[in-house]
Each structure stands twice: as structure tokens, then as C-alpha cells.
């Protein structure tokens, strides 16, 4: 069975500082993808970044980077130079090709950026 | 490119009433997902379509929930009769089938359902 764990219900970060949001996953599949989504108070899920299980380098997208440690089964999101607009819920998700391409989401982390 | 459209955005009903939600995916996307997101939780997959066929509906409460995607394009999700615990945001997402493990989902704005 696939499982995503986010152990930080809430996080605070000072504006312009970096913050790391934790995500661990459990799967027996060899081929899978890891995703991070942002959900602001408006409710829409916004795709941030993707990491494939066979990717050797950590993914980066602007201020977002994914710290992928395959042996530890962790895929932490790092947001650099936090902005007030980064305040939102953040969800880690996994998709495994051998399980019908279903997405499994974690419970989310609420990030608050303090001015 | 137009995004995933959902309607209505908000719905308030009393328990035991029926309700339907509509989703129009991004043009050309073969895969369509319906999720239920209860306040404070992550989205839970209810049903996944590929074209007009069901890929996974293992978490759909079939005694009260139904969904269809007759022409492989837009989809409707129905709840009949609604219960208090159905209060949630219902998210629709779509994606292409190309790309293997990388297949980003694009989400709609969601429908917030309140059951009184």
C-alpha cells in the first residue's frame, strides 16, 4: 500500500527566510513520482514541483526545491526566500505507476509567513 | 489554455437531499479524478476515469455516491441522499496519460458542500 506522511501540521517562517516542509512516503513500487501542491485559502490546488523516482538530481523550480533522499524515502520541500504569499497549505503526493496512477496525498502542512 | 472548470462553487443543502456537481476537464485530458477533501485533511480520491471508463472507484461510497463521464469529456458527481459527514470540498482534476510516472494533475477550483 502507498502512504504519504507529513508530520508538521503547522509551520511558521520569517519573511525572506528559507523553510523545509517534511514528507516521507512508503511504497514497494520502483517507479513512482512525488509531487508538491500548494493550496491557498481560495481552495485551488496549485502544482509546485515534481520528482521522479529515477531522477538522480533534486528537482528545482524557482524558489522551490525538493530534497529527495530515496533510501530514507523522504521528499522534503524547501522554499527559499519566503514571501507573504507563500502562506498556504502544502500537500505532498505520490503516484505509482503500478497502482493505476492513483495519487495519494498527505494530510498537509499549514505554512504561515510572518512579516 | 482553459483550466478545469467546476460548478457550482458553493452548495448548501439539508441532509437527505440530493446534489450534483459538474466538472469540465482541460481539453484533451483523458484522465479525470474526483476527490473529497474534508476540512483539515488531504484530498481523498473518490473515483478515477480514463476516457469514459472507470479506473478506480474503490473509495466511492456507492450506496449514495455516483459519478459518470458518458462522452469521455465532462463529468458529474452525485450524492443521494446527502449526510452531514459529506460536508467537504469536492475537487475535480484532470491529466493526460502520456509521461509515465510524471503525470501532473490540474485541479479545478472545487465545490464547497455544506450539509445541514
Which of B40, B43, B47, B42 is CA-nearest to residue B79?
B47
Q: What is the pLDDT of residue A95?
A: 87
pLDDT, averaged across chain A: 92
| Local confidence band at B101 (pLDDT 50, 70, 90 cut-offs) | low
Is residue A14 within 8 angstroms of chain B, CB to CB? no
pLDDT of residue A100: 65
Paired with A113 in beta bridges are A13
Cell 504519504 -> residue: A4
Give B16→chain A minimum CA distance, Å.
Answer: 26
The CB-side HSE value for B97 (13 A sphere, CA atoms) comes to 10
Put simply, the chain A residues between 48 and 67 with a CB less than 8 A from any chain B CB are 50, 52-53
Cβ of A33 within 8 Å of Cβ of B48? The answer is: no
Query: Is the CB of A102 less than 8 angstroms away from the CB of B42?
Result: no
Report the distance separating Cα A3 and Cα B1, nearest Å. 33
- Which residues in B59-92 are b (16+ Cβ under 10 Å) and which e? ebeeeebbbebeeebebebebeebeeebbbbbbb
Question: Inter-chain contact B110–A95, Cβ cutoff 8 Å?
Answer: no
Of B55, B101, B102, which is closest to A100 when you measure between CB atoms?
A: B55
Mean pLDDT, residues B58-85 taken together: 94
Residue B84 backbone phi and psi in degrees, to 5: -55, -40
pLDDT tens profile B7-60: 999 999 999 999 999 999 999 898 999 999 998 889 999 999 988 899 889 899
**Above 60 in pLDDT, residue B99?**
no
B98 close contact with A: CB closer than 8 A = no
DSSP notation for B18-77: -EEEEEE--TT--EEEEEEE-TTS--EEEEEEETTEEEE-TTS-TTTEEEE-TTSS-EEE
Average pLDDT, chain B: 91
3-class DSSP assignment, residue A113: strand
Q: Of residues B1 and B11, which shows the higher confidence score?
A: B11
pLDDT of residue A42: 84
Nearest by CB: B104 against A32, A47, A53: A47
Residues of A in contact with B103 (CB under 8 A): 33, 95, 101
Neighbours of A84 (CB within 10 A): 10
| C-alpha to C-alpha distances, B36 to A37, A72, A76, A111, B1, nearest whole angstrom | 16, 30, 25, 22, 26
Position B2 confidence tier, pLDDT thresholds 50, 70, 90:
confident
Q: Does A90 touch chain B (CB under 8 A)?
A: no
Tell me the pLDDT tens digit for each residue of A57-73: 999 999 999 999 999 99
Nearest-neighbour CA in chain B from A23: distance (Å): 13
Q: pLDDT under 70 in chain A at which residues? A: 1, 99-101
Q: Which pLDDT score is estimated for B94?
A: 92
Residue with cell string 493526460: B96
pLDDT bracket for residue B104 (50, 70, 90): confident
Res A30: pLDDT: 87
Q: A94 with A104: CB under 8 angstroms?
A: yes
What are A67's strand-pairing partners? A76
Amino acid at each position: 500500500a502507498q502512504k504519504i506522511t507529513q508530520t508538521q501540521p503547522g509551520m511558521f517562517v520569517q519573511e525572506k527566510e528559507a523553510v523545509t516542509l517534511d514528507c516521507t512516503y512508503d511504497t514497494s513500487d520502483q517507479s513512482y513520482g512525488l509531487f508538491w501542491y500548494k493550496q491557498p485559502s481560495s481552495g485551488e490546488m496549485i502544482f509546485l514541483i515534481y520528482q521522479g523516482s529515477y531522477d538522480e538530481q533534486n528537482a528545482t523550480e524557482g524558489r522551490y526545491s525538493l530534497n529527495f533522499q530515496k533510501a530514507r524515502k523522504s521528499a522534503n520541500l524547501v522554499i527559499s526566500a519566503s514571501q507573504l504569499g507563500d502562506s498556504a497549505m502544502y500537500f505532498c503526493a505520490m503516484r505509482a505507476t503500478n497502482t493505476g496512477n492513483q495519487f495519494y496525498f498527505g494530510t498537509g502542512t499549514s505554512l504561515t509567513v510572518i512579516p | 489554455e482553459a483550466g478545469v472548470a467546476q460548478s457550482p462553487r458553493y452548495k448548501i443543502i439539508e441532509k437527505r437531499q440530493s446534489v450534483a456537481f459538474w466538472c469540465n476537464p482541460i481539453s484533451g485530458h483523458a484522465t479525470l479524478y474526483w476527490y473529497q477533501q474534508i476540512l483539515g485533511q488531504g484530498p481523498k480520491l473518490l473515483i478515477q476515469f480514463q476516457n469514459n471508463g472507470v479506473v478506480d472507484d474503490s473509495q466511492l461510497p456507492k450506496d449514495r455516491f455516483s459519478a459518470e463521464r458518458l462522452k469521455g469529456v465532462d463529468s458529474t458527481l452525485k450524492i443521494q441522499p446527502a449526510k452531514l459527514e459529506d460536508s467537504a470540498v469536492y475537487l475535480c482534476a484532470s491529466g493526460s496519460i502520456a509521461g509515465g510516472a510524471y503525470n501532473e494533475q490540474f485541479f479545478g477550483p472545487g465545490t464547497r458542500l455544506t450539509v445541514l
